[in-house]
Structure 1
Amino acid sequence: MKNKIAVVLPLTENYSLKYSGAVSLFIKEYTKISKYEYRIYGNTDKKDIIDKNYINVDIGNSKLTSSNVKYSELLVDEISKFNPDIIEIHNRPQIAKILKEKTKKKIILHIANDPLSLRGSSLSSDREYLLENIDKIIFVSSYIKDQFFKNINFKNTDKTQIVYHGINKENKFPKKNKNIIFVGKLNTSKGYDIFGKASIQILEKFKDWSVEVVGDEPREKINFTHKRFKKLGWLNYQDTIKRIKKSAICVIPSRWEEPLGRVAIESGAAGCATIISNKGGLPETLKHKLILNTLSVKSLHDAISKIIKNKKLRDNLQVNAFKNHIHDLRNKSKELDIIRDKLINKKININFNNPIKIIHIADTHIRHNGRLYYSTSKKINNGFLMNGYNVLTISDRDILSTSKNIYDFEGKKKLSSIVLSSVNNFKPDLIMLGHADNLPVDPLAKIRKNFSDIKISQWFLDPLIKTGPDYVKNKNRILSKKEVIDATFLTTSPEKVSFLNSNCFFIPNPADPSIDTNCFYEKTKTFDIFIAISHGQHRGTLKNNHSDPREKFINNIVSKSNDISFKIFGMNNSQPIWGDEFFEKLSKCRLAINISRGEPIKYYSSDRITSTMANGVATICDKKYSFQDFFKNNELITYENDKDLLNKINFYKKNETKLTIIGKKGREKYFKLFNNKLVTNYMVKKSLGIKLNKLIWMK
């Protein structure tokens, strides 16, 4: 027996053959191929209803209550007859709230318009309520998701996800006429006035081209006259698609922030050379297009003229858009079904057991409220657990942040007391320190004297480059407890650090299968290059009047990349990103550039390389890091200098299939060599003097 889904349309949405909007069209298409059983509820006076699964909810004349409230009340009764497993509401947060409270069913809210303009989500308090109470919120684009999270502290939760609207692509590339098409409301918000003026100029210039306009707008009259400028009015969906397929060029010059832009998706799937404005979610609609960063009659005229004159460009835009259709309907329907599956059947399994006992003293970032949930300290802690070790974790910096007082100005006395008491009660085999700089050496020396069998080791992740940042400070940090340390593990090759002794060992930044869960090589991408830096993860924001040497390098690369779209965070007044927002932004990019502070030194990298490679994003880094010792060129891309980097960026822009392979193989190799279970097992056994089977990076 199939699980059942009730789908609720907005009051203003017509589920009809001729007057369907983007929401109705998508619902009509995905419900046909989804594995679930559906009932669709709406309110329309149209008679050409799309299919028999539709139930019309007539609200009549509602003068005493709002239309949405009346609609919601009637929906409760109608939906109860169907008794669905999930109720999905489109574009009406207010209705979602009412139905959640009245039905107690699992609710999915689809948001395909700016949530700041919708009743029930315009205020940050409204959106916080939705996050707390609605089971899943699905956004039609990253732009809409960003709008939703404005002025909200929790930028991403597992309750939210982006699922783009998808359409089916024809199997065969359609034959093209010398025609330019505009589809949509004929108003200034859609840029119709700009399109009309530019088109008239084009028709005067190119005598063998014509223009077709599909749509109307009773509230705003904008008229253009030319014998080859054909205004067709509002057509049904199938007729509109036929017109798009025959057209060589499709233009979407919106002034307003489009939530996504279905016409642009349809244009790409139909093999049109597509021109869009850089508004809202439009850049997310297709991979190959021309973007108008400045929207004007001149810029649009020049773009159309360029495509008409340059047949090779036109052919490339058309064929590449057709071949690389990124919003396939079947894939989107599967994404939605997976979301429903997880809501209906949710399972969690945990199991660990082993006699080795470890006290792990490292920052677990409790005070950061999950912003750094993917930190290396957590991955190391998880690795201990995955090996079955019995782990007691002491978050030193969190303790310090709550323990300061006039008698213990820095909180170190309290921290020392907790460590000593924990050792006395827990009696570990190993104490592992991770950047525990604020723990005095005295309690560790006392442990040494009283528990001779306990080993004490430390891990260190920061750069140790003589010409690099904080060299003296980092050197002092790593040596501050040398008299009580049995082994040191660092993410730089020890052979390149002159002041270290023989009990120092290289460890890679570990990948965690419970954190680095993503296979982003499988995802459709809307941007080319991802770069993320910061002024320190504990700080979390940019410092005033602070310059990072990496910014010059990055700006130079950007300035020399004409046809490359970048997502850059942590510089140029773009704040660093953290938490799930980091992965959400990363997932949209085809290639990540890994740039660490300071001059390259053997094997050193910030832990950001794990976030990219272990989550399936093709990654490129400087050859001088020597990661080619571990990865082949179909697993990790390396460059020798700026010119080589630019050449490779441009090469892989044209060879996305290779990036997909590199992302996949790189992730597989990263987990094979550098997973946190292997890394922490190595750390423990090296510390305790237990033999182990070695991998290529192990000493």
Structure 2
Amino acid sequence: MRFGPSNATSIDLCVHDLILASRYREETRILCCENETLFPGLHISTYPPSIDRRKAKKIKFALAQARSNSADVIVVQQHLPTAAGVARRSPMPVILHKHNMTKPIPPTGFFNRVRRSWRIRQHNALAGIMFVSEACRDEFRADWPEISTPMAVVYNGLDFDQWQPAEHPRNEIICVGRAAPEKGIKDAAEAIVRVLAAEPLWSARFILSESQRFPDYLQSVIETLKPVADRTTVELNQTLPVVRQRLQEAAIAIVPSRWEEPFGRTALEAHAAGCAVISSGTGGLREVSGDYALFLPKDFTAKDIADRLEQLVSDEAKRTRLASEGRDYCLQKFALKAVSESADRFYQRIKA
């Protein structure tokens, strides 16, 4: 992972925020690979890339740090093999914090049965599993009924005091996400071209991360936007403060993800920033927005996005209401202090 403000992933941001608001903040040590920047104000121990490339070395480093710091609980982010490896070698309870959906393994065929049995043993070696949404937990339970490890849902949280919506947002449509096909970015671009052609007073902005992963896809997005290039801005790999500022200035945010989002932090940030949100509603996205987004159909097209954009562009009252009610809903459900307290309670339960 990249535990620093210049290049943090959504997982890094989630962990940073949870620890920052935790009652165990001063007793918590974060272990991560060396990075160009590190988040300030937290106790962090780093290891070099030579260790990061080898699971066995990471496990050895983690156990040595846990022993020297007299750890009560070890929390491993996302990576089951590392969590299970630590759990097998440690007398301390180990929690796996899952930030994505878990792929099922069918119980048919010899090799599948072997793989499934091994995966079950890995999970059952853990002291606890945290999921970022009810959607993640419920799908996991349905696919892996044999796993009896204690489970909890701990959402991503936000410090809403850091998010201040503009009193008069720009007539701007914004789309933030990875430049990847499963994020539906090109569909959003096609929809925006349609809408801006009919709405000369509006503009659009894309803030895209991981721009080197799918260069051809990114180029196709840029090509798609050429007809409205004079009113469209594409920014790559921006820091959270820049993303926050851009979201706070925009009126409408599109979250057109085509895959089953485990949570949907991008949607949460858009609500916090005071945007009216258009969402695909996949996975955990419906939990994030509640009834306060315009949702797309399951197999949506660019036209579906454009239709909802037109609703919001042409109806300022609806746009304002959706933005205000969406922020209020998220403030009640995802305020960082309450979310961090739910994580702390689970740590305490497992420790006991």
Instruction: Assess same fold via TM > 0.5.
Output: yes
Corresponding letter in the other structure for 1:289:
A
Aligned counterparts of 2:276 and 2:256: Cα–Cα separation in 1: 14
Indicate the residue corresponding to 2:15 in structure 1: 27
Q: CA deviation at 1:131?
A: 4.5
2:132 aligned with 1:132: no
Q: Note if contact 2:267-2:285 (Cα within 8 Å) is conserved in structure 1.
A: yes
1:320 maps to amino acid: E
Q: In the TM superposition, what are the counterparts of 1:590-601 in structure 2 within 5 Å? A: none
Letter in 1 for 2:14: F
Q: Which residue of 1 aligns with 2:134?
A: 142
Aligned equivalent of 1:211:
204
1:94 is displaced (CA, Å) by: 0.7
| Pairing partner for 1:54 from 44, 64, 70 | 44
Residue in structure 2 matching 1:330, options 317, 337, 348? 337
Determine the C-alpha separation between the residues in 2 that align with 1:48 and 1:109. 25
Aligned residue identity for 1:165? N
What residue number does 2:29 align with?
39
8 Å CA contact 1:124, 1:150 repeated in 2: no
- Would you say the 8 A contact 2:104–2:144 is kept in 1? no
**1 or 2 for the larger relative contact order (CA 8 Å, sep ≥6)?**
2
Q: 1:337 to 1:76 in 2, by over 3 A?
A: same
Is the Cα contact below 8 Å between 1:116 and 1:123 reproduced in 2?
no
Cα 1:124/1:290, change in 2 over 3 Å: farther
Return the alpha-carbon distance in structure 1 between the equivalents of residues 242 and 308 of structure 2: 27
String of CA shifts for 1:224-282, please: whole Å, max 9, x gaps: 32111101211111111111111111111011111111010111122211111132221
Other structure's SS at 1:115 match: coil
Partner of 1:202: 195
Contact 2:127 2:149 in 1 (8 A): no
- CA distance in 1 between counterparts of 2:181 and 2:351 reads 44
Greater C-alpha radius of gyration: 1
Aligned to 1:443: none
1:295 corresponds to: 300
Unaligned segments of structure 1, at least 5 residues: 1-12, 346-699
**Letter aligned with residue 48 of structure 1:** T
In structure 2, distance between residues paired with 1:117 and 1:31: 30
Is residue 184 of structure 2 the alignment partner of residue 180 of structure 1? no
- What is the number of residues matched between the two proteins? 325
The structural deviation recorded for 1:139 is 0.6
CA distance in 2, matches of 1:74, 1:198: 49
Amino acid at match of 1:49: L
More helix by share: 2
Q: Any conservation in 1 of the 2:101–2:136 contact (CA below 8 Å)?
A: yes
Q: Where in structure 2 are the equivalents of 1:137-536 lying within 5 Å? A: 137-154=129-146, 159-170=150-161, 173-175=165-167, 176-216=169-209, 217-220=211-214, 221=218, 222=220, 223=222, 224-225=225-226, 226-287=229-290, 288-293=292-297, 294-325=299-330, 326-345=333-352
Tell me the secondary structure at the aligned position of residue 212 of structure 1. Answer: strand
Displacement of 1:149 after TM fit? 2.6
Query: TM-score under structure 2 normalisation?
Result: 0.86
Q: One-letter code of the match for 2:11?
A: V
User: What's the counterpart of residue 438 of structure 1?
Assistant: none
Percentage identity across paired residues of the two chains: 22
* Conserved? CA contact 1:168–1:269, under 8 Å: no
Residues 252, 276 of structure 1: 8 Å contact kept: yes
CA contact (8 A) 1:275 1:290 kept: yes
| 1:86-125 superposed Cα distances (whole Å, 9 cap, x missing partner) | 000110111111111112211111101122289xxx9543
Q: Verify the 8 A CA contact 1:38 1:53 in the aligned structure 2.
A: yes
Partner residue, 1:68: 55
Which whole-Å CA distance do the structure 2 matches of 1:251 and 1:204 have between them?
18
Q: 1:514-540: per-residue Cα shift (whole Å, max 9, x none)? A: xxxxxxxxxxxxxxxxxxxxxxxxxxx
**Distance of 2:118 and 2:295 partners within structure 1:** 34
| TM-aligned CA distance change 1:150 to 1:125, over 3 Å | farther
Report the Cα distance in structure 2 between the residues aligned to 1:248 and 1:125, rounded to whole angstroms: 50
Amino acid in the other structure paired with 1:113: N
Secondary structure of 1:254's counterpart equals coil
Q: Separation in 1 of the partners of 2:275 and 2:46?
A: 37
Q: Which amino acid aligns with 1:317?
A: L
The CA RMSD over aligned residues, in Å, is 2.2
Q: Structure 1 residue 289: deviation in Å?
A: 0.7
Corresponding residue for residue 95 of structure 1? 82
Q: In structure 1, what residue type is equivalent to 2:17?
A: E
